[in-house]
Structure 1
Amino acid sequence: MTANLTKQTHFDAIIIGGGACGLMCAVQAGFLGKRTLVLEKNDKPGAKILISGGGRCNYTNLYATPAQFLSQNEHFCRSAFAQWTVDDTISFFETYGISGKEKTLGQLFPVSDKSKDIVKVFTDLCRDMEQPIWCDTEVTDIIQIEDGFIVKFNKNGEQQNITCQKVVIASGGLPIPKMGATDFGLRTARKFGLDITETNPALVPLTITGKDQPWYEKLSGNSVFCRVWNDRASFEENILFTHWGLSGPAILQISSYWKPGEYIYIDLLPGADIIDMIITERAENGKKMLLAYLSGLFTRKFAEALSDYVPAEKNLASLSKAELDGLGSLIHEFKVKPAGTKGYDKAEVMSGGVNTDELSSKTLEAKKISGLFFGGECVDVTGWLGGYNFQWAWASGFVIAQNL
């Protein structure tokens, strides 16, 4: 038999979700002398922090600005990033023993390469400031009452209720359901009449099906540094061929800007001109076969795959202008029409979420519902790959804490 317990508490706010945003919010509220309670569905806090960056946690990016974030309102995140900067993130973690090391493209990792060190900063601070984190606690509903909210949740097999004046929804988005991801934040927003911007998997591998799929499958495991672009964005990083399509950093990045039915384009030799290179080479070595030449630029396996589209058996001197032009198009504008994405199971983050028009950019409080705040991934603010989404999580958690 389950009990139905209602508790009146002295917490200033209930934070739903013990991820990056929720933990930062609890800690920053504690610094201000405000008491919060974090309710976390998983058996430990920071589940996505722990698996991020292959367990190393790329916790911010040195070059993060609002320009690297997607939202229906591109200016919405400016206020939060003005209140909590990249320097603030770096200083905060350094204060608690986490020094950063830069890897590629401004990505900052702990020197220890251990994401658990990031989580430990928050759990230690929450313990020291008596900001409790209740794990294995699934919130089932939030009901608005005259002087605040009733939060309903299951814990230890009991349905319990707790009252509070303010509620923070930091429950994340839809990616990685096996890590406990749910649509709770979106459902709650809808329940309170807030609009939702269409959600999709973002920073996600792209799939290739049909007659082209075997070509990609035979290249599975090959990684190539490329420029990948469409009419909205362009990224220069590695791509990875897989048995089901394309992955790798550049593909994950462009996926946030891709829509079903559209093409993406790949420059396999960014910053070079394959036609000029061959003209120069054949002046000295015209008998060299095109396949041998391409094998010097790419792996042999990749060069052989390209042979499906070019006269690889011909020597460089015998290539016609039309054949050179065709090779130029193939190398510098390789055209791909993905069938879809690998979905939320493989997505790093979710695009879309609670419509930013519904929230104050300065406080992240719902305009229609006093005392209800939304932060982190469930809001329509989506960053690039490489620590940007953590910066949004820390910033939004900080901003909300200032206004509890």
Structure 2
Amino acid sequence: MTANLTKQTQFDAIIIGGGACGLMCAVQAGFLGKRTLVLEKNDKVGAKILISGGGRCNYTNLYATHKQFISQNEHFSRSSLAQWTVDDTVTFFETYGIEGKEKTLGQLFPVSDKAKDVVNVFTLLCDDLAQEIWCDAEVTAVEQTADGFTVSLERHGKQQTLSTPKVVIASGGLPIPKMGATDFGMRTARKFGMLVTETTPALVPLTITGKDQPWYEKLSGNSVFCRVWNDRVSFEENILFTHWGLSGPAILQISSYWKPGESIYIDLLPGKDIVEMILAEREQNGKKMLLAYLSGLFTRKFADALSDYVPAEKNLASLTKTELEDISILIHEFKVKPAGTKGYDKAEVMTGGVDTNELSSKTLESKKIPGLFFGGECVDVTGWLGGYNFQWAWASGFVIAQNL
């Protein structure tokens, strides 16, 4: 190990984390004539960008507003999202060669379907703007000094300490630890006396255990368009049955609002009334078995599974009022009580993080520690599935850059 000497840098700020927020911050700072150094612990920047959307990168959502974000302060993200809008994101990427194509529900992907194109925009711009990037650089400590901060790091087996007037913490959250995710941002906030709200895995599959688990297991691979809800929110998208529980877009969405011990509900035929449908069919073909009718609405495998809960071998004409009510509850209010989630290993993001009360909503600077900024996932702002979290990352990176 070399001696741990403090090096006076010529950078206006050091950005810790080379993800979406950190990269946008570096580029926007460069546009303003400020020099930054990005420190990334992985061997390349943008690791999470590269795997997002199955490697295609859903880089924003056309309908993003503060209403699609979870936070103890639901209004905190308003300022950042107003300073850097969805239109700004679209224009920015178009300017540098990435045309967007809308998939479902406002999700915008590069026409090329290549996440690496998004990362390349930032690495090329950083190069053009003389913004320095050090990979394989693991930051071990941030200390406050009389005229700014020192940042201690280990790189290529050597320890060094850099001084800088300002520090940006854009080091992400806890999900996907195998990609280098840590609690560094929150740990640093606590070190400086800042509050951190409790974190939980979000946009994450839900698990089913016990006597119900075999039922889900035999449906593994079946995908159904549903409405999934609890007493706070509802989502209409596909759900996916797995051998350990439930996944798919609607489940990932509701997981951010689920708390241990709670139930969620699934409407297997959103916007329809199964009883009215059965009564209409009964007038035409009363001898049809319920199982055959359900097989026309769902896959045979799924209909077979539902028959565990309803008189599937009865014909439609012989179904009683009570049985019809039971069928209605099964189809429109299917109750699920998850055992838990698949955890940070499988979560796309997390809820919680650096308490928004500790930060200026206009600048994202710490109220207690001038010159210390927090952006991206380590802050208590969590978006829905579908490009919202990237929009927050771009916006928070832009806002911080304006105030360095």
- Normalising by structure 1, what TM-score? 1.00
Give the corresponding residue for 1:372.
372
SS, match of residue 265 in structure 1: strand
Q: CA deviation at 1:24?
A: 0.0
Give the corresponding residue for 1:71.
71
Q: CA deviation at 1:110?
A: 0.2
Give the corresponding residue for 2:296.
296
Q: CA deviation at 1:131?
A: 0.3
Give the corresponding residue for 1:214.
214
Q: CA deviation at 1:3?
A: 2.7
Measured in 1, the distance between the counterparts of 2:156 and 2:67 equals 44
Deviations 1:316-375 (A, max 9, x none): 000000000000000000000000000000000011000000000000000000000000
Give the corresponding residue for 2:351.
351
Measured in 2, the distance between the counterparts of 1:130 and 1:6 equals 22
1:308-327 equivalence runs, <5 A: 308-327=308-327
- Which amino acid counterpart does residue 57 of structure 1 have in structure 2? C
Measured in 2, the distance between the counterparts of 1:370 and 1:9 equals 19
Q: CA deviation at 1:4?
A: 1.4
SS, match of residue 310 in structure 1: coil
1:39-78 equivalence runs, <5 A: 39-78=39-78
Q: Does 1:129 align with 2:129?
A: yes
Measured in 1, the distance between the counterparts of 2:127 and 2:160 equals 23
Measured in 1, the distance between the counterparts of 2:19 and 2:78 equals 22
1:30-179 equivalence runs, <5 A: 30-179=30-179
Unaligned runs of 5+ in 2: none
Q: CA deviation at 1:106?
A: 0.1
Deviations 1:103-122 (A, max 9, x none): 00000000000000000000
Give the corresponding residue for 1:28.
28
Measured in 2, the distance between the counterparts of 1:31 and 1:378 equals 25
- Which amino acid counterpart does residue 35 of structure 2 have in structure 1? R
CA RMSD, 1 decimal:
0.4
Measured in 2, the distance between the counterparts of 1:188 and 1:323 equals 58
Give the corresponding residue for 1:180.
180
Q: CA deviation at 1:220?
A: 0.3
Give the corresponding residue for 1:195.
195
Deviations 1:20-75 (A, max 9, x none): 00000000000000000000000000000000000000000000000000000000
- Which amino acid counterpart does residue 261 of structure 1 have in structure 2? G
Measured in 2, the distance between the counterparts of 1:155 and 1:319 equals 72
Measured in 2, the distance between the counterparts of 1:323 and 1:20 equals 53
SS, match of residue 282 in structure 2: helix
Q: Does 1:235 align with 2:235?
A: yes
Q: CA deviation at 1:79?
A: 0.4
- Which amino acid counterpart does residue 279 of structure 1 have in structure 2? L
Give the corresponding residue for 1:381.
381
Measured in 1, the distance between the counterparts of 2:182 and 2:257 equals 23
The percent of aligned pairs where both chains have the same amino acid is: 84
Q: CA deviation at 1:5?
A: 2.7
- Which amino acid counterpart does residue 208 of structure 2 have in structure 1? I
Deviations 1:299-332 (A, max 9, x none): 0000000000000000000000000000000000
Measured in 2, the distance between the counterparts of 1:117 and 1:283 equals 57
Measured in 2, the distance between the counterparts of 1:401 and 1:22 equals 10
- Which amino acid counterpart does residue 259 of structure 1 have in structure 2? K
- Which amino acid counterpart does residue 385 of structure 2 have in structure 1? L
SS, match of residue 270 in structure 1: coil
Measured in 1, the distance between the counterparts of 2:313 and 2:2 equals 76
Unaligned runs of 5+ in 1: none
Q: Does 1:254 align with 2:254?
A: yes
SS, match of residue 281 in structure 1: helix
Instruction: Give structure 1 regions of 4+ aligned residues with deviation exceeding 4 angstroms.
Output: none
SS, match of residue 4 in structure 1: coil
Measured in 2, the distance between the counterparts of 1:111 and 1:3 equals 49
- Which amino acid counterpart does residue 277 of structure 1 have in structure 2? M
Give the corresponding residue for 2:279.
279
Measured in 2, the distance between the counterparts of 1:249 and 1:3 equals 50
Q: Does 1:19 align with 2:19?
A: yes
- Normalising by structure 2, what TM-score? 1.00
Measured in 2, the distance between the counterparts of 1:150 and 1:350 equals 29
Q: How many aligned positions are there?
A: 404
Measured in 2, the distance between the counterparts of 1:179 and 1:86 equals 28
Measured in 2, the distance between the counterparts of 1:274 and 1:267 equals 10
Deviations 1:122-160 (A, max 9, x none): 000000111011000000000101100000000111110
Measured in 2, the distance between the counterparts of 1:366 and 1:132 equals 24
Measured in 1, the distance between the counterparts of 2:5 and 2:386 equals 43
Measured in 2, the distance between the counterparts of 1:345 and 1:5 equals 37
Q: CA deviation at 1:6?
A: 1.6
Q: CA deviation at 1:2?
A: 2.9
Measured in 2, the distance between the counterparts of 1:259 and 1:283 equals 44
